[in-house]
Structure 1
Amino acid sequence: MGYWKRRLTVDLTTGEVETRDLSEEFLRRYLGGAGFTTRLLYDEVGPSVDPLDPENVLAVAPGLLVGPSVPTGSKTTFGFKSPLTGGYGKSVVGAKMGDQLKRAGYDAMVITGAADAPTTLVIEDDDVRLESAADLWGMDTWETDDALKEQYGDQFRTAVIGPAGENLSKMHMIECEDRQAGRGGPGAVMGSKNLKAIAVTGTKGVPVAREEELEELNKKWRLETTGRGDIDVTGTGSATIDVQYGTGEAYDAKNTELGIHPTRNWQSGYFKKAYDRLDDPENDRVSIDPRYWTEEYVQTKRPCPYCTKPCSQYFEADDTKYGDIAVDGPEYETQYALGGNVEVDDVEAVAKANEICDHEGLDTIDAGNAISWAMEAADRGLLDDEHLDSIDADLEFGNAEAVLELLEKMAHAEGELAQLLMNGHAHAAAELGAGEEFAIHVKNQAPAGFEPRGIKGMALAFGVAPRGADHLTSCLYALEMGGDFWEFENYDRQRMDGKALALKALEDLMMIYDITGVCKFTRGITLAEGVRELVNAMTGFDLATSELLTVGERTHNLSKAYNVREGFKREDDRLIPRLTEEAADGPNEGVSIDEAAYERELDRYYTARGWAVSGTPLTETLEELDLDDVAEEVGVTNELED
């Protein structure tokens, strides 16, 4: 059937470990990955639970298609109540540990409670045990992984936290061997549970309903996703042209052509300094555009398991002014958040900042935006001497030393300014009582690097994403930048209206990728029809494409219902205030987003979703999606109901 039909449950408070059956109804309705974690989170963590309480859960589920060599099928979802947003938490990672969790005989895992002392959860097939992590506490993520491999063996795959998680930073990610579950603060949840690490190995294989059919489909999609079909899916392989320079492939187009590269704390979408270096004969550093640095600094790729679209860029440099550097990245989001948005144009500085975040456990997007907010706050005279004197470097845009120093101190909660910023800039502005108007976030989470004044549909995509400002909930930027994607054509990126239907459809489609574990970089190739073929061979279900998309729609509505139950309102699906200001320069100089136009399109989106004007799902909508229990708890019957 493609499932073990069981989940592992671990209570860190009592030490109890048990295996629970998963019903066929549950499997059919949610399939795997984010479908499983969203339902488990909804059922087990209610409004009375603080994200850092022992009663919060860390739900872990490999995507349905993780394990049997499905091209790019590597993604595992962590589900939790987010310390950063206070609502729905979902973080997806191309992790080897998810593959091993399935091979150990589990479709999902739920961790609850809190240990009395630092603990490692060790899973070795049916042998599940809790062991002391006292010797690991205080180590960074790479040191922790090395120590676990030495203690248990190289066959174990890991998910670990660093000092930022131990200090309960609300932007702390989970490190999974060069891959990060980065958004929403899942590492803080682990830290609150005294769970330093998870180490997993499995020897049971992966159940598949129709093995020969899946094997043939794997060959087909390996060819489709590479253009050759001869890539070693478990090794490094050779990059196809669309990922030659990693996720920063279109850096120049985003920056100079479309003007959607956030710069100077989102005051502009154009980072001119990225190219000024090329015209300076006295400057020995190259542009942060990866076309100019990849050949010099990237000698290898370290892709996710089963990858056929290797975007990984392993950056290595010795004896730089920032010391030796070795890090997977920097990806585009890091190039923007720790580059243009803080006006640092030295790629070695950006890579070093990336390395610090990975080792210490900080999400690069939220960390970079916290620092850019602080730089603007300092520029405006809103920070006092206690804040400014707590770091040695001058806190000003373009100062790489300030960025690097602050990242280290944020992870270790050292000094007044670091303690203000370590939980994100939305929390910092609230604590300071100033600067909210230029704290760029939705639901307390910083957006990805797509400046909506250049692609206006992304303002709505950021606003309505259940986990906070996020580009991957919908990948609407692919349609906005290209004008055509899937069944949508001739989209005008400069219009606010007409985006609601596409946004809804793409959210449902992209949820399918998080449910199955297939990488969204194949979204223009596999689409729903291709994923459906793989799902049916794996499970034997014979779903129609419409039925598969309904699973995505059901899961998305459940994530929204979770936030509604937590007290989130229409005003939380907000337009970021800075976007109503005119862009300072670049291709979109003088462009802003009209708030009234945003509100009209938000109404259209709610209508497309079958939700009331308040953003609450209608009872009828939830019942049609077989969410009757959720409809009874949060649904409303009147479209005009608040």
Structure 2
Amino acid sequence: MGYWNRLLVVDLTSRSVETRELSETFVRRYLGGAGFTTRLLYEAVGPEVDPLDPENVLAIAPGLLVGPSVPTGSKTSFGFKSPLTGGYGKSIVGAKMGDQLKRAGYDAMLIKGVAKSRTTLVIEDEEVRFESAADLWGLDTWETDDALKERYGEQVRTAVIGPAGENQSRISMIECEDRQAGRGGPGAVMGSKNLKAIAVKGTKDVPVARPDELEELNQKWRLETTGRGETEVEGTGSATVDVEFGTGEAFDVKNTVLGIYPTRNWQSSYFKSAYDRLEDPENDRVSLDPRYWTEKYVNTKRPCPYCTKPCSQYFEAEDTKYGDIEVDGPEYETQYALGGNVGIDEIEATAKANEICDHLGLDTIDAGNAIAWAMEAAERGLLDETHLDSIEADLAFGNADAVIELLEKIGKGEGELAQLLMDGNARAAQTLGAGEEFAIHVKNQAPAGFEARGIKGMALAYGVAPRGADHLSSCLYALEMGGDFWKFEGYDRQRMDGKALALKAMEDLMMVYDMTGVCKFTRGLTLAEGVRELVNAMTGFDLSTSELLTAGERTYNLSKGYNLREGFDRSDDRLIPRFTEEIPNGPSAGESIDEAAYEKELDRYYTVRGWDSAGVPLGQTLEELDLEEIMGAIGTAHELVD
């Protein structure tokens, strides 16, 4: 129980559909969500396939605990070969569409091939059909969702692309009704398949092995996540720390206390001007810190399905100098990427930039970092007139008009500069033949807003993450910022050494969240032990905590194996070059990361992972994880050496 044991396979080329049975071995080893999509991707797409080829797939799987009202059990995984990195692609989203897919009777869906014409995939329980999207092509994401609801009913839940995905921008995302599968370029995969939209409506009750036990646990976690239980989020003293101000609630701490807020293309980690203006009552701009803007601009929340700890801040403003604005957010990562990192210090401009990205289908992190790179390149005189003349505004840090204009052009692929940036900062530098030393990325993906020179374990977390520079593969910042989390205590954020063991453990735990669909903003509440109780009530498997974490470790190693099979090696687990430079000002002034210290900790990380010095999993490691069949493909020696 706990599963339908059904995989929906959709072939866009032949316009055919089949349902395959998922074995008990498969579901026990991979549980759901990112476990399913990682295994499906590994089996379906090899190194000979370009990410924009028809042979690439889009694997979609709701987390195991999505459907039966588990508090914050909302997350769905999208798996694909990443157009941005060329390797393992995973994007996790609180998608209503994923919930409906589960209720339609499917544990996962695999989409392959390419449609001959622009297509909408419609799923209504057992009925799966292909319908024309000719009249939807060119519409933005909100317009597309409105059209689908008018066509198929208000109950339908959607995953759609905007013009950025249609133009196969490698930083394009999939919009899921105010939630985004943002990282790695999944929008480009849909665009390459002529797939404009997926519309799903399900009416079935999700199967549960022990429903009474699960409902008792649901009641427990509803109390805990709403702050009415006995548990406190580790390091915060509160179970609802994210609710009032959203994911940016620690903006001030990151900026003025810790000095880990990236600014001006990561040239600094302290955004002084964001606070200087608060002393100027005649300046009517509102700070990026949500403590200053939520009361003025947020009147409602639009949370993910089954959310009891809503971080959603639905921003609404009329008659600003950037026009009317309506957007869910900006979340912290957008407050950084389209705020301090491009030198913008007013929330209205950042919110408008966020709105444009959501409508056109751009990932805010990579879009903001691409523009920040271009601003530094312009500052250094590296861009020629054809680039600079393709936008009207002056391309300079702090010029919100330039950011807003450029986002519009990037989303639509208009103009020389936009075309340079629409595939991210790393490819822009490669195309230009200059600026690679200040293109902030790992594996071509830009990182989240945690300045690793002031929180040094995050440098390693960014470096080794299989999907490219990534904070959510480990959430190590939760330990680094507070010093204590879960099984670990007394960690010094300004030390590079001693982070490997904690990083490995946190990665395995966070993969469990991605497999089960429970939101990571409950990570300080549920932890592994709480998730285990929910999984066992759902499935009847009676897994131990160790077995649950081993499932996370298995999927993590498979994601690493995917990249190794693609030709990635130790050099791809690199230290971002800018991190070797000293931070010039703020609370972390003078901090940098020594490259030799980084490489030493990378060695330790490979050791605790059970990998060799090149980062290839050892045979014994793969055997213990039931992954011995991938040894030859990823370069593991079959004979173990003492």
The normalised TM-score by structure 2 is: 0.98
Residue 243 of structure 1: SS of its match in structure 2?
coil
User: Displacement of 1:518 after TM fit?
Assistant: 0.1
Structure 1 position 635, deviation (Å): 4.3
Distance 1:531 1:425 in 2: 37
Matched, 1:36 2:36: yes
Structure 1 residue 54: Cα displacement = 0.4
Aligned twin of 1:372: 372
Shift of 1:632: 3.2
Post-superposition Cα deviations, 1:468-492, rounded to whole Å, max 9, x if no partner, equal: 0000000000000000000000000
Q: Distance in 1 between matches of 2:118 and 2:251?
A: 42
Alignment of 1:138-537 (within 5 A): 138-228=138-228, 240-537=240-537
User: Contact 2:121–2:128 (CA<8 Å) still a contact in 1?
Assistant: yes
> Aligned partners of 1:301, 1:635: CA distance in 2, in Å?
49
Q: Which moved more, 1:288-297 or 1:629-638?
A: 629-638
Contact 1:618 1:639 in 2 (8 A): no
Q: Distance in 1 between matches of 2:311 and 2:204?
A: 30
User: Shift of residue 259 of structure 1?
Assistant: 0.4
Structure 1 portions without partners, runs of 5+: 230-238
Is the 8 Å Cα contact of residues 12 and 112 (structure 1) preserved in structure 2? yes
3-state DSSP of counterpart to 1:270: coil
Residue by residue, what CA displacement relative to the aligned partner does 1:501-535 show, whole Å, maximum 9, x if unpaired?
00000000000000000000111110101000000
Percent of matched pairs sharing the same residue? 81
Q: In 2, Cα distance between the equivalents of 1:5 and 1:95?
A: 21
Q: Deviations over 1:176-202 (max 9, x none)?
A: 000000000000000000000000000
Do the aligned residues in 2 keep the contact of 1:245 with 1:311 (CA within 8 Å)?
yes
Per-residue deviation, 1:3: 0.4
Give, in angstroms, the shift of residue 228 of structure 1.
2.3
Distance in 1 between the 2:588 and 2:637 partners?
42
Quote the RMSD (CA, aligned, Å): 1.4
CA distance in 2, matches of 1:181, 1:152: 23
Report the 3-state secondary structure (helix = DSSP H, G, I; strand = E; otherwise coil) of the residue aligned with 1:492.
Answer: coil
- Match of 1:428, SS? helix
Q: 2:454 aligns to what SS in structure 1?
A: coil
CA distance in 2 between counterparts of 1:255 and 1:637 reads 47
The CA distance in 1 between the partners of 2:584 and 2:364, in whole Å, is 25
Q: Which amino acid aligns with 1:216?
A: E
CA contact (8 A) 1:85 1:443 kept: yes
Look up the match of 2:546.
546
Pairing 1:101-116 to 2, within 5 Å after superposition: 101-116=101-116
Q: What residue identity is the alignment partner of 1:484?
A: D
Q: Structure 1 residues 215, 61: closer, same or farther in 2, change over 3 A?
A: same
CA distance in 2, matches of 1:515, 1:553: 11
Q: Which amino acid aligns with 1:633?
A: A
For the pair 1:85 / 2:85, whether they are aligned, the reply is yes
Instruction: Please give the per-residue CA displacement for 1:556-599, whole angstroms capped at 9, x wherever unaligned.
Output: 00000000000001000000000000112111111110000000
Structure 1 residue matching 2:452: 3-state secondary structure = coil
User: 2:6, 2:19 within 8 Å by CA — same for their partners in 1?
Assistant: yes
CA separation of 1:640/1:499 partners in 2, compared to 1, >3 Å: closer, same or farther? farther
- CA separation in 2, counterparts of 1:19 and 1:639? 39
Deviations 1:426-451 (A, max 9, x none): 00000000000000000000000000
- Matches of 2:143 and 2:81, distance apart in 1: 28
Give the AA of the match of 1:622: L
TM-score (norm 1): 0.98
Q: 1:639 offset after TM fit, Å? A: 11
Count of residues in correspondence between the two structures: 634
Q: For residue 453 of structure 1, give the secondary structure of its aligned residue in structure 2.
A: helix
**Distance in 2, Cα, partners of 1:590 & 1:489:** 26
SS at match of 2:453: coil
Residue 227 of structure 1 and its aligned partner are, at CA, apart by 2.0
In structure 1, C-alpha distance between the alignment counterparts of 2:580 and 2:635, rounded to whole Å:
32
1:243 Cα deviation (Å)?
2.5
One-letter code aligned to 2:541: F
Give 1:309's aligned amino acid: K
Alpha-carbon contact 1:330-1:351 (below 8 Å) kept: yes
- Secondary structure, counterpart of 2:493 in structure 1: coil
User: Partners of 2:541 and 2:436 in 1: how far apart?
Assistant: 49
Structure-2 separation of matches of 1:391 and 1:152:
40
Amino acid at match of 2:515: I
Question: Which AA in structure 1 matches 2:446?
Answer: A
TM-superposed CA distance for 1:637, in Å, is: 3.1
Deviation at 1:280, TM superposition (A): 1.8
CA deviations over 1:20-60 (Å, ceiling 9, x no partner): 00000001000000000000000000000000000000000
